[in-house]
Chains A and B, each alone.
Chain A
């Protein structure tokens, strides 16, 4: 059988298995097995387990369950109420008013959680009813929330970046640091959008907030202190070089347990629920990673990555054109796959390509996160859309329409990243060395 036929069969099986709703991790394993049988005479099963075992028992990966657990604990505390109360005094003055609590709340929660869905539910369960009560237009509440919640993927800790780092064998701490500034810039873009809405659609503005004395303001904002301390400790310890990503995650888990205990929302029920929830989510990601590690082994034998990299080299594509092409590719892929799956599925092919084109892999990690963020809010499959549908009972089509401006802003973010790559690369190059 010629190489080309084999490749065609391989890709067909890949899409057939994924499309027929086999669980993604197992589908990747199945495809990889087909690839091994087609392209090499190596015993597939033994190679499979060796690869999977090495990947599954790696030390780098241990940051993943701990960060998931940390998010699960905080999700079960009264943090969302506290954050809303603490943010209101500061946001009520801004043009656009309390809509900014969506952005600021998501930014803060993103700094303690690695998942977009968790950020969305935590912030949304407080801000949606409160903003509705105050008469903000529905499309702004939902749109800004859907967009801002994707910051959970970008601002460290970020599960997508951990998975990316494990897939290409890069330092997770560096990737985390790279995510901070672009995350804040993106949050800034969302904020500007709310300013713009405030000035351009005057008719939609709700009544201004009642007066609040300075004393009350200070008193209310004390609710923000615990979570801000947690953010400082987790991100600061990584930045200052005191702790690796995994150690920062462990500190984060203990910190959030303390925070929950302080709020008196820590009991056996919430503790075990958070632990079991985290175990399930981490097993879900682990299964995908197992499938992906076997698939990248098989992918290596197909020669597809090398051929594509050589082809890119031959075409003399400029990095900008390559990035544009990859953006479209990932947006299309993101319509059907979730972020983590589309990262692990493609890295075996894309990594040699970007290295060949001379693109910085840390920068590329941030780029891929922005694209994955877009995928979270674009139909037909967008995770945030489903979560929001569950929370607000709106149609998916309505929610995705309200989130459309945010997708535009994320596109703008990609342009900004291409124009000023230092946004992503400056901070990781300047991490302090540990004591």
Chain B
């Protein structure tokens, strides 16, 4: 296991894979107790997933506006530099932010043929599938974050003609800086526009994949506590 440095004395993979799996196992054996502990958390998380779905929807509207602006610009002979890049970033943002929300509403598809054999089989197979899915999603999130950090460290910039105001970058950097350094941060920030650094559009990828991983683990615990799936699919679309 290269690439999994220690964190608080334990290898990272223990934190990411073993701990949540242990939590899931607890849910399997201590249904009542874990149910009581986790239920308030579930309520909060449901709101978080929905909120991230709403953010995704906003980015979808953003794609529409960007493309309309680009068309108007083209017809009237103006130039809208980087419009395709901005639309691409919005596309990524709408996909990633909606992943968890889509999961909770049963929008993601699966081959359900073996799930319909009988209820006992369904429970165990569903649990197994969700465990695999949770591990995969966690792996995905872990590397999404790593790539995001690497983009920032290497100061990876866009290949296209898209710019962002430096103030926006500074705003997001505030989250990674201690509050007492915010003054220096803003003092060093220029007021111009710079080529988009890749870490900014990659933020939705990190956030979305973390939420997806949390959502899968979350719904696994719900399955194990409730003994039936909590994913309620809406009308097939």
Contact = CB atoms under 8 A, between A and B. Distances in A.
B163 interface: no
B225 interface: no
Interface stretch (A55-63, A148-156, A175-183, A367-375): A55-63
A65 B58 CA distance: 12
B98 A280 contact: yes
Contacts of A246: 67, 87
Interface stretch (A18-26, A91-99, A353-361): A18-26
Contacts of B98: 279-280, 282-283, 286
B71 A56 contact: no
Interface in A1-39: 17-27, 29-30, 33
B201 to A, nearest CB: 7
Contacts of B88: 57-59, 61-62
Contacts of B133: 22-23, 26-27
A62 B67 contact: yes
A117 interface: yes
Interface residues of B, number: 62
Interface in B82-138: 84-85, 87-92, 94-96, 98-99, 101-103, 105, 107-115, 125-126, 128-129, 132-133, 135-137
Contacts of A62: 63, 67, 87-88, 90-91
A22 B235 contact: no
B64 interface: yes
Contacts of B109: 23-24, 284, 288, 338, 341
B102 A43 contact: no
A118 B237 contact: yes
A53 interface: yes
Interface stretch (A212-220, A379-387, A422-430): A379-387
Contacts of A43: 3
29 contacts: A18-B111, A23-B103, A23-B129, A24-B111, A29-B136, A49-B146, A49-B147, A49-B205, A52-B205, A53-B202, A56-B96, A56-B205, A58-B91, A59-B87, A59-B91, A65-B91, A65-B94, A69-B64, A279-B60, A281-B107, A281-B237, A282-B94, A283-B98, A283-B99, A284-B102, A284-B109, A286-B99, A381-B111, A386-B236
Interface of A: 17-27, 29-30, 33, 43, 45-46, 48-50, 52-53, 56-59, 61-62, 65-66, 69, 72, 115, 117-118, 121, 243, 246-247, 249-251, 253-254, 272, 275-284, 286-288, 290, 336-338, 341, 380-381, 383, 386-387, 390
Given A45-B142, A56-B205, A279-B94, 6 more contacts: A19-B111, A49-B144, A56-B95, A279-B98, A283-B94, A381-B112
